[in-house]
Amino acid sequence: MTAPGLERLSLNTATTKRWTLPEAVAGCVEAGIGGIGLWRDRVAETGVRRAARLVRDAGLTVTTLCRGGFLTATGPRERAAALADNRRAIEEAAELGTGTLVLVVGGLPEGSRDLPGARTAVQDAIAELAPYAAELGVRLAVEPLHPMFCADRAVVSTLGQALDLAEGFPVEQVGVVVDSYHVWWDPQLAEQIARAGERIAAYQVCDWVTPLPADTLLGRGHVGDGHIDVRALTEAVDTAGYTGWIEVEIFNQAIWDTPGARTLRTVVERHLAHVAPR
Amino acid sequence: MTAPGLERLSLNTATTKRWTLPEAVAGCVEAGIGGIGLWRDRVAETGVRRAARLVRDAGLTVTTLCRGGFLTATGPRERAAALADNRRAIEEAAELGTGTLVLVVGGLPEGSRDLPGARTAVQDAIAELAPYAAELGVRLAVEPLHPMFCADRAVVSTLGQALDLAEGFPVEQVGVVVDSYHVWWDPQLAEQIARAGERIAAYQVCDWVTPLPADTLLGRGHVGDGHIDVRALTEAVDTAGYTGWIEVEIFNQAIWDTPGARTLRTVVERHLAHVAPR
């Protein structure tokens, strides 16, 4: 079913934001894409059980579930609520048949300037969640986000920092996500990818385009449209021993406004041109 | 002349963008601020010699000249032009009586994805410039810029990376700039500041405010308005042995639209509340 050269390509459904889950599944099948990375909100619309069946019946592999996290709250009630939500996310991942739950760890708590404290809170929360996830066959995948999201989304900003965190846990319990958009600038990237090895639980790609748009969350482009040497990054990730899926995850208003099938054609073209082995 | 508690406070004139140099000098004197960080464009308007006399006659210290850099061009003509412009900047710094020329090293060359190559170009250019600067009593101060500027402004993104670069040269020739806005998120910040020691050639402060504005260059706020623990950062810089000026450098349209004298009152208040020793 998978088209030649696309064996590792997965569509993260954030890329085709307007598609419902059934539409995204049909779109992947049509495009010859064998993997799909799911978001919890789209899964919830369909219902977890039905979503799981839909994807399985289409012969697709669920490569990740996005996302758990937001673990920096320090108030006991907020903290308990975050942990409960993450346990639900772990259960959903298990039911969907993916072994990888992506964690965006959360920014500074409201009004706080205590970055070290927020980082400790993340570590403590992961320590509570990881054994439960492992019981259900799910690995927590800590995603370092670009430092421009440190205040409001993720106090884990580099791959090295994510690995420092992950290495406090068994390799089958906690891994990391390498996302080209978040890590490409890092002067320590080569050595940290080599270090990451089998901690790499997911690899996501898109490009860094300039100028950044008004909403910096939406500044991502198709691979090949920006400044990142995605081929070199992919080779580094492969050399580190990662043989898994390569998810395309693009947040971009213009791409969201493009018909999904056309977006998938571009995703496939760019994968063949910039990512798949030559 | 300097008001109590303001002994180390310097105004970087980018903060009061609408003021001419004579206005900025008069504003500092009026506010009891003894240091001033100058930008080349404003100096050029006044003329370097006249600017130097103006500042000296007012009893102000020129804490930095901003800026040299943009050293990533690889074409021989562009490269020669960049080096020539930096030599002029060095000469201007010397004439203005400051020992510190801030370098924003430049982003990826047009159309290039070769980040390692751009970084090597920076190193090579600094090797050509540093001895000349030292002859004139000027130290090159490499400023790591926030990673969100890696593509278009500075391929040096962390303090550790800036130190790796600086340490290839004698300490009196090449130092680094610590700017709160650019470095606050860095998980290695504490250890890198301690490592920096006497390489710290300048210390600049402002705050990280969210949400980021449409133009991410202008997302800086007055100290105390955002997410950075500036007091903790200042203590770390002091502990590393830095006893020099603390420059306030804020790029923010709303602050630029505020009368300069009022901005300086806020700068002074925030310095006393968040930066000066309690």
Q: What is the CATH number of the domain that holds B237?
A: 3.20.20.150
Does residue A243 belong to the interface with chain B, where contact is any CB pair within 8 Å? no
What values do phi and psi take at B154, rounded to 5? Answer: -155, 115
Determine the Cα–Cα distance for residues B122 and B79; give it in Å rounded to an integer.
10
The answer to whether residue B1 scores a pLDDT higher than 70 is: no
Whether residue B250 is contained in a domain is answered as yes
Residues B147, A146: C-beta atoms closer than 8 Å:
yes
What are the tens digits of pLDDT across the range A83-123?
999 999 999 999 999 999 999 999 999 999 999 999 999 99
Q: Smallest CA–CA separation between B72 and chain A, in Å?
A: 15
- With respect to residue A41, please indicate whether it lies within any of the assigned structural domains: yes
Is A185's CB within 8 Å of B115's CB? Answer: yes
Q: Is residue B15 part of a domain?
A: yes
Tell whether B181 lies on the interface with A, counting CB pairs under 8 A.
Answer: no
Alpha-carbon distance of B63 to B37, in angstroms, equals 5
Distance, in Å, from the CA atom of A11 to the CA atom of A38, rounded to the nearest integer, reads 9
Does the beta carbon of A187 lie under 8 angstroms from any beta carbon of chain B?
yes
Reported as a single tens digit per residue, the pLDDT across A114-140 is 999 999 999 999 999 999 999 999 999
> In this structure, what token pair is assigned to residue A238?
């492969």
pTM of the model: 0.96
What is the domain extent for residue B265? 9-272
How many structural domains is chain B composed of?
A: 1
- Rounded mean pLDDT of A166-180? 98
Q: Does a structural domain hold residue A201?
A: yes
Judged by a CB distance cut-off of 8 A, whether residue A191 touches chain B is no
pLDDT of residue B81: 97
- Per-residue pLDDT, averaged over A51-66, amounts to 98
At which residue do the structure tokens 């580190």 appear? A240
**Is there a domain that residue B32 lies in?**
yes
Q: Where are the alpha helices (DSSP H) in B136-246?
A: 159-166, 180-183, 189-196, 230-239
Chain segment A230-267, per-residue pLDDT in tens: 999 999 999 999 999 999 999 999 999 999 999 999 99
Q: With an 8 Å Cβ cutoff, are B186 and A210 in contact?
A: no
Q: Is residue B105 part of a domain?
A: yes
Looking at chain A from residue 50 to 79, which residues have their Cβ under 8 Å from any Cβ of chain B?
Answer: none
Residue A228 within a domain: yes
Q: Is A208 on the interface with B (CB under 8 A)?
A: yes
CA distance, residue A181 to nearest chain B CA (Å): 10
Q: Any residues with CB less than 8 A from the CB of B100 and at least 6 apart, and which?
A: B63, B64, B65, B93, B138, B139, B141, B175, B201, B202
Residue A175 within any structural domain of the chain: yes
Q: Please tell me if residue A212 touches chain B, with a CB cutoff of 8 Å.
A: yes
Interface test with A, best of B148, B157, B217 (most A CBs within 10 A): B148
Task: Note which residues in 109-138 of chain A have CB less than 8 A from chain B.
Answer: 113-115, 119
Q: Which of A188, A205, A212 to mutate to test the interface with B (most CBs of B within 10 A)?
A: A212
Contact B146 A147 (CB under 8 A): yes
CB contact under 8 A, B226 and A151: yes
Looking at residue A278, what is its pLDDT? 74
